[in-house]
Structure 1
Amino acid sequence: MQWLAHVTVATIVEDQGRFLFVEELKGGRAVLNQPAGHLEANETLQQAAIRETLEETGWDVELTSLVGIYLYTAPSNGVTYQRICFAAKPLRHHPELALDEGIIGPLWLRRDELAGEQQRWRSELVMRCVEDYLGGERFSLALLRDTA
């Protein structure tokens, strides 16, 4: 059996102390996550983060830094995910845009509001990424050497 980590991207988008989240259906229940998804073929990590944020929230964003790289094994299915989490600033909302299947919609929440919704986090990485961001974890995008 061949083991593979699934490469995903996530985006922390902050505006005046509120963070952009995605409410989505997972396993028949509504959960909260950062705009996030899988890296696609012939796509850079940055392109994937911008695309996923737009597809899941209707927001154009500008990536500003790298928050962290996380390795997470989901207890529900045993799949290991490598999450590359970016920070970004919101640029423009496209409310008319059809969102990805399974997406209920975007939500703006403060950190304390997210903390009160722990049972709805898609994984503990949701809060971990916010905490790292708020703790000042910001690295240059130049660390990434994408060639796609």
Structure 2
Amino acid sequence: MTERYKPNTTVACVIYSQGKFLLVEELIDGTVKFNQPAGHLEANESIVSACAREIVEETGLELIPEAIVGIYQFSASGELAFVRYTFCIELAKQQHATPRDSAITATHWLNLADIIALGSQLRSPLVLKSIEDFLQQSDKNHPAQHTPLSLLNVDYF
């Protein structure tokens, strides 16, 4: 009998304002990496509340996800695998972000070209993929296509 596949459940949030995206900078194994505010689902919390918690911890901003960008499955090196629920928030103006989590070394408002230029410094390919999906869903030539949070069967703990 093979061992059961058990991917980690993670959450992330694309935060967008005035043509820029809020990314967090973290040091992982001595290397600077960039990501959306993101982290793992903890016991006794909903997926949406996990995302809100991660936003507060990593940016200091008290924001609630507005919609779903996508649900992604990703396999990293070896046996490490993730199911990532990515949400989004659109802000009228950029807010100053101050991380509360000591693992986050800085926050940055970056445009798409800046993010693409980061290349291998992105924490995973899902950082850019979720931004591209967000932009496609936000295309002003088409009606808004973000998936509402009501898609999830959310129990608020």
Shared fold by TM > 0.5?
Answer: yes
Query: Which residue in 2 is equivalent to 1:82?
Result: 83
TM-score, normalising length from structure 2?
A: 0.85
Instruction: Report deviation, 1:93.
Output: 4.9
1:5 aligns with 2:13: no
Q: Write the distance in 2 (CA, Å) between the matches of 1:120 and 1:32.
A: 6
Q: Write the distance in 2 (CA, Å) between the matches of 1:140 and 1:134.
A: 16
Find the structure with the greater CA-based Rg.
2
Alignment gaps of 5+ in structure 2: 138-144
Instruction: Report deviation, 1:3.
Output: 2.8
Query: Which residue in 2 is equivalent to 1:117?
Result: 118
CA 1:23–1:83 in structure 2 vs 1: closer, same or farther (change >3 Å)? same
Given that 1:61 and 1:89 are in contact with CA atoms closer than 8 Å, whether structure 2 keeps it comes out as no
Instruction: Report deviation, 1:146.
Output: 1.8
Q: Write the distance in 2 (CA, Å) between the matches of 1:73 and 1:134.
A: 24
1:37 aligned residue (26, 36, 39): 39
- Give the counterpart letter for 1:146 in structure 2: V
What's the RMSD between the two structures over aligned residues? 1.7
Given that 2:67 and 2:88 are in contact with CA atoms closer than 8 Å, whether structure 1 keeps it comes out as yes
- Provide runs of 4+ in structure 1 moved above 2 Å: 89-95
Instruction: Report deviation, 1:10.
Output: 0.3
Q: Write the distance in 2 (CA, Å) between the matches of 1:15 and 1:5.
A: 32
Query: Which residue in 2 is equivalent to 1:146?
Result: 154
Q: More strand per residue: 1 or 2?
A: 1
1:52 aligned residue (42, 51, 54): 54
Q: Write the distance in 2 (CA, Å) between the matches of 1:44 and 1:68.
A: 17
Q: Write the distance in 1 (CA, Å) between the matches of 2:79 and 2:34.
A: 20
Matched residue count: 145
TM-score, normalising length from structure 1?
A: 0.90
Query: Which residue in 1 is equivalent to 2:140?
Result: none
